[in-house]
A and B are shown apart, each in its own frame.
Chain A
């Protein structure tokens, strides 16, 4: 290790050639990322203008004076019909949904995959394929029966009703199954001889081994849960359960009859709604790379 950092004696190095291909690649990449960054940037600049300007002149590319005001209003001003919800509450609800959704999916799918891979169940393969085919039945397809079930259980307007029907995950089960099958069988056998029962093996060995998988699935599922729109709209009528994604819509809609919609506030809220998923991706990506390079198998 240490040797590689040792300085080599100064050798006259041939002048580096300009690599046109590299420059070309980077130009494309930079242009691409600028293009991708444009909408959030526009949202940010537009959010710094007052509602009247936006309504009259459309999206703004320059920074206005109302950025702080709009963010403040979006986050802390009580709104909605009941005048009880503000941005912070919706932010919290979004977090509850996103984290509950991601954690629930990971726990359920890991345990399902564990059962399928490590236990001699009579119909393990069949069970797996049944789970797998539910990929063909996303929430949108089964939304009416799901709604009916939750309603009959009296779980509308609860976090349980919001989260639990969404956490069964064929995708997660599939990924964990593939991962568990790649773990050498001898590991389970060694643990068995070492006196670790099924639960201990799961907690002490499989879960730590899966941490990069868990991080990856957490990212995907958190963002997915965060962006849920249809299900929360159906299952929660009480405004105190509103999430950010719904709140944005609410701001734009609720004023249409009498006044100009608060576009500035809506965009400010949209930016707030964008930050946590981005932060989560950045945060976990670090982990991800570390987990992959550090050791393993």
Chain B
């Protein structure tokens, strides 16, 4: 178990492309950190630098108290689970799981015992003599997990380990991985582009965008207090509504309309106003006019898609509330309003 710290880490690929801008953060011992961001934002690059599969252009990487910039991946005391699992196709599950131990000169009897333990933990006991091709996607995923846990490393690294599974299995594995990590208490860095995975699994989320960290925080912080419009629109499904507005004299004025909302901040100028769809209530005496175009039925709740002052807007209502298309009036919960600088997108 170990704390991981990145100090001024930067990555420039040999072709001159800067995939990760100078970043610093520390992952606590036993923490489950999720790196999330759109595809191509540099998540894998960052993870692979921690794994040692990619050179670090600049900065210092520490696992535990040891600077590991120049340490071989095999000696970093890490284990990694890949998106395509990277199981050895010609080896049985037993050999796949035990290969890392064998290479480290662990006695055969000890390998056998550890492999059995890991297999039991992952419900793989009856598949130990099969080859990966004879397993289902979910089982292969477990084998990949087994290969990671059997070595009892200081750090787990996951690179989108669930993206090749169907939705139902993904939900199940999400919970299992999280529970396993809890039980073992091993520090974990988990890369995903799926914000649901990030929200549900993380102790702390790091949101990346174009090689830059947008925000680091607990899922709740990220969800309720996004640091930028990027985070606001990336995290949460449906995403936060973002409406352009003018602000002054303690009030927000949505463009072109005389719809005024009192806000606590004292800022004057153009802003982007954000509010989560569930923080809006239908209210005949509400101060804002909302045009409903489409009703989306989701079972537990319903989404109303439409516009405020010709700017796209979504409202979430409970399954028992009634609604129909056309103009209606809404109230925005004042405490749920978030304001961003219109030019930079940063939180005010």
Q: How far is the CB of B164 from chain A (nearest CB, A)?
A: 12
Q: How many angstroms between the C-alpha atoms of A144 and B73 in the bound complex?
A: 50
Q: A-facing mask of B62-97, CB < 8 A → 1, else 0?
A: 000000000011100011101110111110000000
Taking Cβ atoms with an 8 Å cutoff, the residues of A that contact B are 184, 186-187, 189-196, 200, 204-205, 208-209, 294-297
Question: Contact at B100–A186, with CB atoms within 8 Å?
Answer: no
Q: Are B73 and A193 in contact (CB-based, < 8 A)?
A: yes
Asked whether A295 and B132 contact (CB < 8 A) given A190-B80, A192-B73, the answer is yes
Q: Is B230's CB within 8 Å of the partner chain A?
A: no
Given A186-B84, A295-B134, A296-B133, is A194 in contact with B147 using a C-beta cutoff of 8 Å?
yes
Chain B hits for A297, CB < 8 A: 89, 133
Contact B103 A295 (CB under 8 A): no
- Decide if B131 is an interface residue (CB 8 Å cutoff): yes
Main secondary structure of the interface of A (DSSP, over half): helix
- Known contacts: A194-B99, A195-B74. The answer to whether A187 contacts B79 by CB under 8 A is no
Q: Which of B78, B84, B87, B132 contacts A193 (CB 8 A)?
A: B78
A284 to chain B, nearest CB (A): 18
The number of residue pairs between A and B whose CB atoms lie closer than 8 Å in the complex comes to 67
A241 to chain B: closest CB distance in Å?
39
Alpha-carbon gap, A196 to B51, bound state (A): 15
State how many angstroms separate the Cβ of A52 from the closest Cβ of chain B.
59
A194's partner among B84, B89, B100, B132 (CB-CB below 8 A) is: B100
Closest A residue to B105 by CB, please name it: A195
Cβ of A193 and Cβ of B103 under 8 Å apart?
no
Q: Is A193 a contact of B79 with CB atoms below 8 Å?
A: yes
Listed by A's residue number, 19 A-B pairs whose Cβ atoms lie within 8 Å are: A184-B86, A187-B88, A189-B53, A190-B80, A190-B86, A191-B88, A193-B73, A193-B100, A194-B74, A194-B99, A194-B100, A194-B103, A195-B103, A196-B99, A204-B99, A209-B89, A295-B90, A295-B134, A297-B133
Q: Complex formed: what's the CA distance from A190 to B79 in Å?
A: 9
A184 vs B103: C-alpha distance when bound (angstroms)? 21
**B285: Cβ under 8 A from any A Cβ:** no
Please, which residues of chain B bring their CB within 8 A of the CB of A189? 51, 53, 73, 80, 82, 86
B168-213, CB < 8 A from A? none
In the complex, the answer to whether A295 meets B133 with C-beta atoms within 8 Å is yes
Q: In angstroms, how far is the closest chain B Cβ from the Cβ of A212? A: 11
Give the residue of A193, A209, A295 whose beta carbon is less than 8 angstroms from that of B131: A295
Contact present for B89 and A193 (CB under 8 Å): no
* Chain B 38-74 interface mask (CB, 8 Å, partner A; 1/0): 0000000000000101000000000000000000111
Tell me the smallest distance from the CB of B24 to a CB of chain A, in Å: 25
Docked CA distance A193–B133 (Å): 22
